[in-house]
Structure 1
Amino acid sequence: MAMPATVAWACPCGCRPSRTVSSDAYLKQTIRLGRPGRVMPRFDHLSAAEVEAIVEHIRGWHDGDRPVFSQARIEGDVQRGARLFSQHCAQCHGEQGEGGQGTGVTFSRPRDLPIIAPALNNPGFLAAASDAMIKATLMQGREGTPMASFREQGLSEEQINDLVAYVRSFEGEHTDPAPRVEEIEPTLVYDSPYGLEETVEAVERAAVGKNFRLIRRQKLEEGLFPEGEENDRQVIVYFCNFNFLYDALTVDPRVGLFLPCRVTVVEQEGQVRVMTINPKRLSVLFNNERLDQACDEMHRIYTDILEEATF
């Protein structure tokens, strides 16, 4: 498939360049379900009226008819479709329909294509897009993107049906639903048997032991109250592993909102507690499956540091 020289933009829900093949039902389902693991979050907390308002706003960007697609399944040969997919689609969408590398958050990061090809094996996409809509996309292409019309590329309607059947076959690969943000504790909290100063020093030693560089120690309320009036029984320890930081920012620059790494030590009513954010919650919040591994590793590191500091 020929790639244009210019960089094109594509909304995660496919609304702008694909307006002739995006139904209202598809847009609504996309808003509701999102794209698990692909940055586009689910907005299942919105009311029906709010979702309708968003769709109407999107439709206001362009004039034209609103397509309505049948929900019936299209019959095709999955094996032939797999071969056609490898030949015509895998270059952009990945060998297993996993989508282009990168998440589309910013154009400033390295990526394998000038536009992020959507993940066709994504459960959100497969639930939102009917077979008829997928077929219409293959037949017509997507204006303003590298996605050309497969009819113009020389494929027959039967071959396009085979491709649709193969894309639909990805549906059986998903079993476990993605966790919800509210199902995961936002913080990791440990009680310390030591005093505040001793606990802070233990946190610093544990962080250094995990190959982190100490950045600074400061009072939690620093900058919020006049100097000298801050609560000196609440302390933040900042530390960083710059290689880990760089790798995480390359995957998703939004991680920068929560960096550098930090642990807070608080003494209240004689009890010292050590706490930090829970990276597993960030993993779900960011909705970026490529970041999951880094978040899991950071959760392990934070847990080790907190346990060692309070042992």
Structure 2
Amino acid sequence: MLRRFIAWMLCAGLGATTAWAAPVQTAAAPSGGQLYTRNCSSCHGQRGDGGIGVPLALPSFQAGISDDYLRQTIRHGRPGRVMPAFPSLGADEVEAIVRHVRSWNKGPSVAYSKAPIAGNPVHGKQLFGQYCTACHGANGEGAKGTGVTFSRPRDLPIMAPALHNPGFLDAAPDAMIKATLMNGREGTPMQSYLKLGLKEKDIDDLVSYVRSFETQPLGSSATLVKTETPVIIRESPYDLNTTVERVKTAVTTNNFFYGRVQTLEYGMTPPANENPNQVIVYFCNISLLNQALAIDPRVGMFLPCRVSIFEKNGKVQVMSVNPKVLSQLFNNSELNQLCEQLEQSYTAIIEEATL
């Protein structure tokens, strides 16, 4: 230990030469496979065969994308379309994931120019309405459903992506969009537009129109509900037991059915040690439950609905998670309307109980 301390002092404090420096152990490079498993496989499949997300190993997908497209997609995600951004990953970790995903590529790598393509966006909009809206939506919002729903058709390996999305537009240069339109993507509904009878000039016009989405307001599929606070909280003028009964009543008058009351510590500590001044009221609305699960089964982690009631030093507080955080947490814009509806219901219940 003394020798190590002396060596450290020589290196750090006394400006030792290389001959005297203690050997430095460099950290092992991150494993792309491990990083992919941890961050990507649950949606894209362990072998890139897809699931909720795009099948990354699909040969036509690999042939049509660049390494930089993957980098930018990891960095920016697809706001509102389930694919999250990964700002916490270091540059070396992103590169490791890119290398792992590209290990499935059986053909040559492709790189695209970042130069803009000149076209007529007015004519491109006409062509978009004729050839693209059936899959990508009238305003490029993407296919309905974000891949998480129970009803997602499984006979197709990919759902039409949202083109009017800042993540896509940041990641895909004009040249890549043009190449996709010209070549199509075998194994998906995306056909070659040349084979559909369009000329290269028409494709340039389409690319120009898609790029014009950058200057237009975000569509609903790329927006998330904003919330000022993740928690709805009110102080009750009543004692804990009265407040609990008022919450139960407010639940039923707001079209939910009461489930049960239990302490916050139920199941986590022996019953004799549970704090009776911290309780949870559980409730549910089957119709809303089915809607939420059909949009995104992950909301099941937050169901059934619940309101927490705490008494401390004679003061009683009633609180719940603000459902609006679900839209941002799950990055699923299709939850927006439901989250806003639930936020209004939760607020009404809590305010009615504490009135």
For normalisation by structure 2, the TM-score amounts to 0.79
Write the deviation string for residues 108-166 of structure 1: whole angstroms up to 9, x where unpaired.
Answer: 32569844210111111011110001001111112321112222222211111111111
Task: State the aligned residue count.
Answer: 302
**Equivalent residue number for residue 81 of structure 2:** 38
Aligned mates of 2:319, 2:63 — CA distance in 1: 51
Q: 1:109 aligns with which of 151, 166, 172?
A: 151
**Equivalent residue number for residue 269 of structure 1:** 313
Q: Does 1:119 align with 2:119?
A: no
Write the deviation string for residues 143-193 of structure 1: whole angstroms up to 9, x where unpaired.
Answer: 321112222222211111111111111111236996799x85332222222
**Equivalent residue number for residue 93 of structure 2:** 50
Query: Which one has the largest radius of gyration?
Result: 2
- Contact kept? 1:102, 1:111, Cα under 8 Å: no
Aligned mates of 1:11, 1:47 — CA distance in 2: 25
Range with greater deviation from structure 2 (121-130 or 61-70): 61-70
State the secondary structure of the residue aligned to 2:271: coil
Aligned mates of 1:96, 1:11 — CA distance in 2: 23
State the secondary structure of the residue aligned to 1:217: strand
Distance 1:11 1:288, change over 3 A: closer
Aligned mates of 2:250, 2:70 — CA distance in 1: 49
Write the deviation string for residues 77-130 of structure 1: whole angstroms up to 9, x where unpaired.
Answer: 112212211222111111111111111125x32569844210111111011110
Q: 1:94 aligns with which of 137, 144, 157?
A: 137
Write the deviation string for residues 16-38 of structure 1: whole angstroms up to 9, x where unpaired.
Answer: 33111211111111111111110
Q: Does 1:278 align with 2:319?
A: no
- Contact kept? 1:15, 1:22, Cα under 8 Å: no
* One-letter amino acid matched to 1:73: P
**Equivalent residue number for residue 219 of structure 1:** 263
**Equivalent residue number for residue 69 of structure 1:** 112
The within-5 A match list for 1:96-245 is 96-106=139-149, 108-110=150-152, 114=156, 115-174=158-217, 184-245=228-289
For normalisation by structure 1, the TM-score amounts to 0.90
Range with greater deviation from structure 2 (171-180 or 188-197): 171-180
* One-letter amino acid matched to 1:34: G
Aligned mates of 2:153, 2:216 — CA distance in 1: 26
**Equivalent residue number for residue 303 of structure 1:** 347
- Contact kept? 2:225, 2:324, Cα under 8 Å: no
Distance 1:103 1:180, change over 3 A: closer
Aligned mates of 1:64, 1:10 — CA distance in 2: 23
State the secondary structure of the residue aligned to 1:236: strand
Aligned mates of 1:266, 1:84 — CA distance in 2: 60
Distance 1:220 1:11, change over 3 A: closer
- Contact kept? 2:224, 2:336, Cα under 8 Å: no
Q: Does 1:81 align with 2:124?
A: yes
State the secondary structure of the residue aligned to 2:92: helix
- Contact kept? 2:225, 2:327, Cα under 8 Å: no
* One-letter amino acid matched to 2:231: T
Aligned mates of 1:218, 1:109 — CA distance in 2: 35
Which stretches in structure 1 are left out of the alignment for 5+ residues? 1-7
Distance 1:109 1:13, change over 3 A: closer
Write the deviation string for residues 41-80 of structure 1: whole angstroms up to 9, x where unpaired.
Answer: 1112221111111111111122332211111111111122
* One-letter amino acid matched to 2:312: Q
Aligned mates of 1:215, 1:44 — CA distance in 2: 40
* One-letter amino acid matched to 2:195: E
Aligned mates of 2:253, 2:348 — CA distance in 1: 10
- Percentage of matched positions with identical amino acids: 52
1:194 Cα shift? 1.4
**Equivalent residue number for residue 18 of structure 2:** none
Range with greater deviation from structure 2 (144-153 or 258-267): 144-153
Distance 1:246 1:180, change over 3 A: closer
